[in-house]
Structure 1
Amino acid sequence: KDSSPSFLQYLESVKLLLGTELKLVNRYKFDNSLSVNIGKKKEITISNKVAQNLYVNII
């Protein structure tokens, strides 16, 4: 998993912090990007590359 300063800064800028709960909204087949809800407030789209570098627990 990526732990580079630039990746961690990106995660902070979109409020994807350690322990943040995400809900998958949509997966786009053309590039495998994902729309996710962060907590109960904000929907963002993340690239496949970002998604592959996240450690996720399914609850």
Structure 2
Amino acid sequence: MQIKFRYAVRQNLIKIVEIYNQSIKLKNVTADIRQISVSEREAWFENASIDKYPIWI
């Protein structure tokens, strides 16, 4: 099996948030204690850049 990585695009944000929220339930992966919404992550996503702060999927 070959794994392929690519830069995230805006359409991936919903799934990124879904996966992150799953990790919150584990209670040992992140310091967040409540689930986040897509709107709460929009600014974070917009501030990412391929050159400085890439988001890989």
TM (norm. structure 1) is 0.26
Q: Which has the higher strand share?
A: 1
**Structure ranking higher in helix proportion:** 2
Larger radius of gyration: 2
TM-score, normalised via structure 2 length? 0.26
